[in-house]
Amino acid sequence: MQTNRIIAELDAEIARLQEIKSVLSGTTPTAAKRKPGRPRLVAAPAAKTRQLSTEARARIAAAQKARWAKARKAAKATA
């Protein structure tokens, strides 16, 4: 069993050193193993962000101010 463990450790070290060698020489084994595929025709367009109209923003702000006023009124009543 001891011999098998030593051989396994040596194999792991050899694989690690071969990977380092390929990185330093500029050729990575993962790039060589890739299968050829169809290239992308056009990059996917970025999703557009949705924008609020000024009227909608004003309605939301007014509703939030009303919520804050209600909360302040409730806090003042309990205090």
Q: What is the pLDDT of residue 30?
A: 56
Residues 24-36: pLDDT tens digits? 888 655 555 666 7
pLDDT band at 67 (very low <50, low <70, confident <90, very high): very high
**How many C-beta atoms lie closer than 10 Å to residue 45's C-beta?**
6
Residues 47-60: pLDDT tens digits? 888 899 999 999 99
Cβ-contact 25, 18 below 8 angstroms: no
Whether the predicted pLDDT of 3 surpasses 60: yes
The secondary structure of 49-71 as a DSSP string is PP---HHHHHHHHHHHHHHHHHH
Cβ-contact 45, 38 below 8 angstroms: no
